[in-house]
A and B are shown apart, each in its own frame.
Chain A
Amino acid sequence: MLRPCTLRLCVLLLALFAAGAALASDLTRARSGIEYASGNIRSMQADDFANPGMLWVTRGEKLWNNPGGSSGKSCAGCHRDAASSMKGVATRYPLKDRVTGRLFNLEARINQCRETRQGAEPYRYETDELLGLTAYVAHQSRGMPLQVRVNDDNKMHYERGKAIYYRRQGQMNLACTHCHERNAGRRLLSETISEGHGNAYPIYRLEWQSAGSLQRRLRSCYFGVRAGLPEFVSEELLDLEFFLAQRAAGLLIETPGVRR
């Protein structure tokens, strides 16, 4: 028969072991940036009214119903109600377009639709219009898991993106992995490093005082390590987006996210 204090010690050790095991298993699953964010950011994102990103979703909704270009058609003209027609769409992007053979993210798809089907000018990156429409479309998949599949057709984009992710670059000679894999959860000055997933984009970033795209955030990261910034919609950024979507597989879409 164990003495009471020994029994208590055993229970304590068992509890610690269980907690440790739970934490260890936790480290193997991807965690959205929102899990690393402060309580204020989390409540801001959770409240559709306090979430400034919803202003862009509202803008996107208006644009969805506006006729555009030489066609005089609106998005709604073909796609009807976005809540049903766009549901699940964002979970599959980026993808390799079957017609052009190019890698498309959501922004590229929207612009292709504008050019080829509406007869309208493509929207430039980081304009309120493109951010609005992208946020509105992605928002229709909120709560759904990312499911970008790698196959023989798009595999090279995955490999290229992966090579970029693990490549040291910039004055600081750091790769994405050094912060977002090896040091995720640890603090850089006063901030906690997240795993760097793109499941909440476009987001409202407090630092930007505006909504912004994943590509804007990636360029900021390049700046962070003092590397040359790749152009918007460059092959490099698209390949990286593709790899990131794989890394984030299973994470739920949160658009519009809120980050610091």
Chain B
Amino acid sequence: MVARVQVPSSAARGEVIAVRIAIQHPMETGFRYDLRGIRVSKNVINNLVCRYNGTEIFRAEMGSGIAANPSLQFYTVASESGELQFEWVDDRGVRGEERVQLTVRG
């Protein structure tokens, strides 16, 4: 799955920073019919977790009520330099992962 992640290039220690992730995924509702008239089965990213140097800082349990190609912005306190790791899975069990480095000054 193609995904884009964005965090500030660097942050001051203790600063509250915005963390953004966008993933290409149809978030198929299960209510749609294809051009043959056959119902397309539900398939959404149901769980997304963000870990900051291994500790979970954010979790999103999502359903078909979240728009296709989901975009999420949340916040975290820049406590130390390190890695933000994102992991997600959809109803079919397909997993995705992204990592981004965060530099914390001071």
The answer to whether any beta carbons of A and B sit under 8 Å apart in the complex is yes
Q: Which residues of A approach B to under 8 Å, CB–CB?
A: 49-50, 52, 54-56, 58-59, 62, 128, 204, 209-210
Instruction: List B1-21 residues whose CB lies under 8 Å from chain A.
Output: 2-4, 6, 20
Task: Assess the B2–A62 pair: CB atoms within 8 A.
Answer: yes
Contact, CB under 8 Å: A210 / B68: yes
Q: How large is the interface on B (under 10, 10 to 19, 20 to 34, 35 or more residues)?
A: 10 to 19
How far apart sit A121 and B92, CA to CA, in the bound complex (Å)?
29
CA distance A58 to B71 in the complex (A): 15
Determine if B53 is an interface residue (Cβ-Cβ < 8 Å): no
Given the complex of chains A and B, what is the CA–CA distance between A56 and B3 in angstroms?
A: 10
> Are the C-beta atoms of B69 and A210 separated by less than 8 Å?
yes
Interchain CB contact under 8 A, B67 and A209? yes
Collect the chain B residues with CB atoms within 8 Å of residue A50's CB. 22, 71
Residue contact B20 to A55, C-beta cutoff 8 Å:
no
In angstroms, Cα B105 to Cα A245, docked, is 50
Q: In whole angstroms, how far apart are the Cα atoms of A52 and B69 in the complex?
A: 7
The CA of A58 and the CA of B6, in the complex, are separated in Å by 13
Please tell me if B26 contacts chain A, counting CB pairs below 8 Å: yes
Contact (A55, B22) CB under 8 Å given A209-B67, A210-B68, A210-B69: yes
Task: Specify which of B6, B24, B27, B69 is in contact with A49 (CB 8 Å cutoff).
Answer: B6
In the complex, the chain A residue whose C-beta lies closest to that of B27 is A209
